[in-house]
Structure 1
Amino acid sequence: MAAQWSPFSKPASLTMRILHTMIRVGDLERSIAFYTEVLGMKLLSRKDYPDGQFTLAFVGYGDGDAEIELTYNYGVDRYELGNAFGHIALEVDDAYATCEEVKRRGGRVTREAGPMKHGTTVIAFVEDPDGYKIEFIQKKATA
């Protein structure tokens, strides 16, 4: 019997990395503006699928980093977020300064920067126009 494949015991020629996280949005232009103008990401690609009645836009910081796929389904302007999905996390140099810049650019900070409960890591939370939570995690100082 052949051994079952596992990503944790993979051959050296097989690699994995997270490519993107997909979120559904009610207003694609508004979401693209938030991720590019407020969070400083780039619009990496955009494609309309009229036969499928949806448009995909990919945003991110480039350089092969993980991306966010914004999916707009024609005619749907709002989604129930439910309580299963938590948040997207971004590493930042300075969570305090990042929150101030997000506010300056019209974004909504829902938890100001500061140490997390029961720890010392500095975090903050913002919310995108559809209500998705985005966590900023401040880089740890290296000795």
Structure 2
Amino acid sequence: MKFRFDHNNINVFNLEKSLKFYKEALGLIEVKRHVQADGEFILVYLGDGDTQHSLELTWLRDRTETYNLGENEFHVAFMVDDFEAAYQHHKKMGCICYENKEMGIYFINDPDSYWVEIIPGR
């Protein structure tokens, strides 16, 4: 028996705002969408164009308030080939929420306050 990663999921309050953010900040593109027949929820899978792994954004129609992320001690990480250019891009967007210069990484905040780690290519 062998397991492999397929996707990660986060719930989002404003789907269009999140789609715009992930495209602008990370270059992610929609690779699959499922709209529940009754409109109760929409699942949008975003890909990086290189790997098979995807980020699933779940939007719930009846959600009336933003999500409580608690202490927000979880994150998704992205490796980037041009770390300095990515840093400048995210700085211009105003979405950098934490930097660890000693480790050579930083985090950006998405519209729902999920943290996304940016790490330099190896």
TM-score by length of 2: 0.86
Runs of 4 or more, structure 1, over 4 Å off, are none
Choose the corresponding residue for 1:83, options 41, 54, 71: 71
Specify the alignment match of 1:26 in structure 2: 13
Compare relative contact order (CA 8 Å, sep 6+) and give the higher one, 1 or 2.
2
Mapping for residues 1-143 of structure 1, pairs under 5 Å: 14-51=1-38, 53-76=40-63, 77-83=65-71, 85-104=73-92, 106-112=93-99, 114-116=101-103, 122-140=104-122
Structure 1: which 5+ runs fail to align? 1-13, 117-121
Residue of structure 2 in register with 1:10 after alignment: none
- Aligned-partner Cα distance in 2 for 1:111–1:85: 13
What secondary structure does 2:2 align onto? coil
Distance 1:126 1:15 in 2: 33
Say how many residue pairs are matched: 121
Greater CA radius of gyration, 1 or 2? 1
**TM-score of the superposed pair, with normalisation by structure 1:** 0.75
**2:11·2:58 contact (CA, 8 Å) conserved in 1?**
yes
Do the aligned partners of residues 128 and 139 (structure 1) sit closer, same or farther apart at CA in structure 2, a change above 3 Å counting? same
Structure 1 distance, partners of 2:94, 2:46, is: 17
Root-mean-square deviation (CA), in Å?
A: 1.9
